[in-house]
């Protein structure tokens, strides 16, 4: 399938703020405990998973093949071989959609495409995760943030802000949600939407302490852009 790529370059600031990688870091403990997977974060964005085999845990040949593909993809991702990892993950998602690892593999596939700058493919699989899986709130939020990041690369800032807000709403008042709201604020300012920017700031103020770092940084950003007066401190 031909891949459509958006030409806008990733900035260091965007990479540091990428909501998907933030959520994946937060999801690590949950996945280890519930899916018996070890997750690693490489390069700021990528979600890498390696299977921990349990005796008698997997019973069908289909599941065995899915796990084999999943493990192979983890090896390739750790080695930085995105193209090979994508082949394994895509085969897993398309041919073994009912396997226990299919959901997280779908999220990994979307992330791998994002890192490869194949933004349309990334969008497809982030959305597929939401439509077909979405059973874990941390990864669900990460998928919304992934869609937002795709919009951000396409310079569709207002839409990106809305999706970051959705990501924040999955698990409000968490560290991840504050990061997503800050990303939404960034996009709202980029879109020159003062109403949305102010609404995002009020959400941050409502969910977190006024002295929380995220709130303070958001307040300062709004002041710098003329959306709040300095005395709002």
pLDDT beyond 60 at 128: yes
Question: In this structure, is residue 1 part of a structural domain?
Answer: no
For residues 98 and 142, give the distance between their C-alpha atoms in angstroms, rounded to a whole number.
21
pTM, entire model:
0.71
Strands (E), 73-159: none
From the list 49, 10, 60, the residue with the least C-alpha distance to 27 is: 49
**Joined tokens for residue 140:** 């669900």
Strands (E), 12-146: 37-42, 46-51
| Residues in contact with 72: Cβ distance below 8 Å, sequence separation at least 6, in sequence order | 88
User: How many folded domains does the chain comprise?
Assistant: 2
Question: In this structure, is residue 5 part of a structural domain?
Answer: no
The pLDDT tens digits for 32-64 are: 343 333 232 222 333 333 232 232 334 344 588
Question: In this structure, is residue 53 part of a structural domain?
Answer: yes
Higher pLDDT: 30 or 137? It is: 137
Instruction: Please give the pLDDT value at position 134.
Output: 87
Higher pLDDT: 29 or 160? It is: 160
- Residue 181 lies in domain: 157-233
Same domain (yes/no): 190, 214 = yes
**Joined tokens for residue 128:** 């597929």
Instruction: Please give the pLDDT value at position 51.
Output: 30
Angle, in degrees to the nearest 10, between helices 137-153 and 157-170: 170
**Joined tokens for residue 162:** 């809305």
């Amino acid at each position: 399938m031909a891949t459509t790529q958006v030409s806008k370059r990733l900035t260091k600031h965007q990479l540091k703020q990428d909501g998907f990688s933030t959520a994946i870091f937060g999801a690590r403990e949950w996945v280890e405990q519930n899916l018996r997977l070890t997750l690693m974060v490489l390069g700021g964005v990528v979600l890498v998973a390696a299977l921990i085999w349990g005796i008698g845990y997997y019973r069908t040949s289909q599941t065995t093949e899915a796990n084999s593909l999943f493990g192979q993809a983890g090896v390739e991702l750790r080695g930085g071989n995105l193209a090979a990892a994508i082949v394994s993950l895509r085969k897993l998602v398309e041919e073994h959609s009912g396997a226990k690892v299919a959901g997280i593999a779908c999220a990994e596939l979307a992330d791998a495409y994002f890192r490869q700058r194949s933004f349309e493919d990334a969008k497809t699989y982030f959305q597929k995760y939401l439509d077909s899986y979405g059973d874990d709130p941390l990864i669900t939020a990460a998928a919304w943030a992934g869609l937002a990041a795709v919009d951000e690369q396409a310079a569709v800032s207002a839409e990106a802000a809305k999706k970051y807000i959705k990501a924040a709403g999955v698990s409000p008042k968490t560290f991840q949600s504050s990061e997503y709201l800050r990303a939404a604020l960034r996009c709202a300012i980029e879109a020159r939407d003062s109403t949305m920017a102010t609404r995002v700031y009020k959400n941050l103020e409502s969910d977190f302490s006024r002295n929380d770092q995220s709130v303070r940084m958001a307040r300062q950003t709004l002041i710098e852009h003329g959306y709040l007066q300095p005395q709002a401190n």
